[in-house]
Chains A and B, each alone.
Chain A
Amino acid sequence: MLSSKSIQRLVTATSITRSSTKASLVIPVEQRRSVHTKDVYVKPGTAHSPTLHFKRKHWNPLYKKERGDRVVKVDLDEDPKDLNELTPQEIRMMMKVRGLHPFRPWNERPINLSCTPSIFEPYVPPEFDGKLSIVSKDGAKQKFEVMGKKGKTYLAVKKITAYDEDFDMKVFVDEAQNIYRKAHQAIADEDEELLHDLVTERAFPIVTHETKNKTIRWQFIESVEAPRAVHARASEVISKDNIFAQITVRLHTKQTLAVYDRFGRLMHGSEVIAKDVLEYVVFEKFISNTNGLWRIHDKIIPDWMPKKPASLRTVRLSLEETAKPPEDEEVQNETASAV
Chain B
Amino acid sequence: MNYTRTLLSSIVKGSRSVYAGGSYSESAFATTRQPQCLPWRAGTHVSQLHASALLSASGDPIYSKYDPDVSVFHRHNLKKYPPLEPGEAPRHAFVCHEKRNIRYYPKKMQVVAKFIRGMTIDDAINQLKFCPMKGAVDVLETILEAQKMAVEEHNVEFPSNLWVSESFCLPDQVIKTMRRHSKARVGIIRHRFVHYCCTLEEGKPPKHYYHDTRPLEPHEHIQQWLKEKRERHVPLSI
Interface residues in chain A, defined as those with a beta carbon under 8 Å from any beta carbon in chain B: 1-2, 7, 10-11, 13, 33-37, 40, 46, 70-74, 76, 78-80, 212-215, 217, 258, 260-267, 313-314, 316
> A262 and B134 in contact (CB under 8 A), knowing A10-B141, A80-B101, A213-B64?
no
User: Cβ of B236 < 8 Å from any Cβ of A?
Assistant: no
Whether B144 pairs with A263 at a CB distance below 8 angstroms is: no
Partner of B136, one of A35, A40, A258, A265: A35
Per-residue A-contact encoding for B130-160, CB less than 8 Å = 1, 0 else: 1111101100110010000000001101110
Query: Does B180 sit within 8 A of A, measured CB to CB?
Result: yes
Q: Of the listed stretches B1-9, B41-49, B76-84, B209-217, name the one at the interface; the rest are far from the partner chain.
A: B76-84
Contact yes or no, A262 B177, CB < 8 A:
no
Top 6 A-B pairs, shortest CB-CB distance: A261-B155, A78-B103, A313-B157, A260-B83, A263-B91, A264-B81
Q: Once the chains bind, are B93 and A263 in contact (CB under 8 Å)?
A: yes
Interchain CB contact under 8 A, A76 and B90:
no
- Give the secondary structure class of A's interface: loop
Task: Assess the A74–B177 pair: CB atoms within 8 A.
Answer: yes
Task: Report how far A291 CA is from B155 CA in the complex, Å.
Answer: 42
Residue of A nearest to B90 (CB): A265
Contacts of A263 in B (CB 8 A): 81, 84, 91-93, 155
B76 to chain A, nearest CB (A): 11
Question: How close is A2's CB to chain B, nearest CB, in angstroms?
Answer: 7
CB distance from A332 to the nearest CB of B (A): 22
* Nearest CB of B to A36, in Å: 8
Q: List B contacts of A313 (CB < 8 A).
A: 155, 157
Pairwise interchain contact A76-B83, C-beta atoms closer than 8 A: no
Within 8 A of A (CB), among B39-78: 59, 64, 77-78
Convert B109-142 into 0s and 1s, putting 1 for each residue whose CB lies closer than 8 angstroms to a CB of A.
0000000000000000100011111101100110
Q: Is the CB of A10 within 8 A of B81?
A: no
17 pairs from A and B in contact (CB 8 Å cutoff): A36-B132, A37-B129, A40-B130, A70-B180, A70-B181, A74-B175, A76-B103, A213-B78, A215-B80, A262-B93, A263-B81, A264-B59, A265-B83, A265-B91, A265-B155, A313-B157, A314-B157
Residue ID in chain B nearest A260 by CB atoms: B83
Q: Are B177 and A265 in contact (CB under 8 A)?
A: no
Q: State the Cβ distance, B61 to closest chain A Cβ, in Å.
A: 9
Which residues of A sit under 8 angstroms from B84, Cβ to Cβ?
260, 263-266
Query: Chain B contacts of A212 at CB under 8 A?
Result: 64
Question: Which residues on A sit within 8 Å (CB–CB) of B77?
Answer: 213
Pairwise interchain contact A13-B81, C-beta atoms closer than 8 A: no
User: Which of A70, A80, A314 has the most chain B CB within a 10 Å cutoff?
Assistant: A70
